[in-house]
């Protein structure tokens, strides 16, 4: 028989575990999205070796990939507040976010053989919207179950 204190402790452990899980998932997905954008055919590529060794190159690479990883920062902030209490909702959301990231990487790496580069801002807005909708749906389903 568990006491009320033990149940509260288990709930707190679950929330902490889910926050960490969501944070790691967003970090991995954001870094992979930024890498796909950077190393894709439309990414930022300096013309000389000296440019790659400078501090300015690192700053330019980070700024060039902001559109790729900022949706994951926004999604992380939103998902931690809504999904931290439910392991199932967190797991479903992470799977959904992985699918969105794979779709984004296929655009960034031009696996769809697009003739023109899609607007980075438009792609970023669509990814942010897709992740935000996924968080909301997972949170609503978790509340009903």
pTM for this one?
A: 0.77
Q: What is the pLDDT of residues 49-102, one digit of tens each?
A: 555 566 666 777 777 778 788 999 999 999 988 887 788 888 899 999 999 999
Task: Look up tokens 């909301």; give the residue.
Answer: 136
Rounded-to-integer distance, Cα 4 and Cα 98, Å: 37
pLDDT of residue 132: 94
Q: How many other CB atoms are there within 10 angstroms of residue 130's CB atom? A: 19
Residue 92's domain comprises 4-144
Give me the number of domains the chain comprises: 1
Residue 5 in tokens: 């204190």
Q: What is the pLDDT of residue 55?
A: 67
97 touches 21 (CB < 8 A): no
Residue from 71, 115, 84, 62 nearest 16 by CA: 84
Q: What is the four-CA torsion angle of 56, 58, 63, 68, rounded to 10 degrees?
A: 160
Look at residue 135 and tell me whether its pLDDT is greater than 90: yes
């Amino acid at each position: 028989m568990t006491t009320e204190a033990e149940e509260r402790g288990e709930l707190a452990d679950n929330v902490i575990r889910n926050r960490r899980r969501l944070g790691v998932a967003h970090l991995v997905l954001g870094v992979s999205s930024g890498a796909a954008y950077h190393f894709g055919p439309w990414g930022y590529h300096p013309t000389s070796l000296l440019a790659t060794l400078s501090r300015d190159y690192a700053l330019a690479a980070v700024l060039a990939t902001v559109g790729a990883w900022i949706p994951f920062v926004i999604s992380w902030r939103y998902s931690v507040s809504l999904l931290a209490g439910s392991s199932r909702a967190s797991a479903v959301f992470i799977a959904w976010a992985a699918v969105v990231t794979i779709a984004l990487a296929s655009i960034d790496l031009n696996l769809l053989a697009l003739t023109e580069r899609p607007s980075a801002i438009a792609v970023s807005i669509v990814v942010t919207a897709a992740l935000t909708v996924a968080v909301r749906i997972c949170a609503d389903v978790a509340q009903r179950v």
